[in-house]
Amino acid sequence: MAKLKTFTLEEITDKHIGKRGTWRREIFEYELRLDLLGQAVRDARKKRKLTQEELGKLVGVQKAQISKIENSTKDVRLETVMRVFAALNAQVSFVVKLV
């Protein structure tokens, strides 16, 4: 029986998206982070049993802005995202790693 070759996620991403530092890879990583941020907002909002409209009122923005954040639209201001997490009483931490 032939042995299957296994690949790491990094190897697959390098092959299909591009190596770290390339334009395509940087865009991919950026969009992935936005997706994770949007999912975190959605999860926290649902855990607090709030609708997008209710959260928007707490933050002082329209429901559409909350939807944009949750759906990872790129034109969202960090200040707005931080106000959303504050309204959700969620602790936020950022890790900055110099490479």
Q: Is 29 helix (H, G, I), strand (E, B) or coil?
A: helix
Q: What is the pLDDT of residue 2?
A: 80
The two three-digit tokens of residue 53, written as one number: 């409209």
CA distance 24 to 21: 8
CA angle 61/63/43 to nearest 5° reads 105
The larger pLDDT score, comparing residue 76 to residue 82, is at 82
pTM score of the predicted model: 0.69
Mean pLDDT score across all residues of the chain? 87
- The model's confidence at residue 30, banded by pLDDT at 50, 70 and 90, is confident
Task: State CA 74 to chain mean position distance.
Answer: 10
What the chain holds in terms of domains, given with CATH numbers, is 9-87 (1.10.260.40)
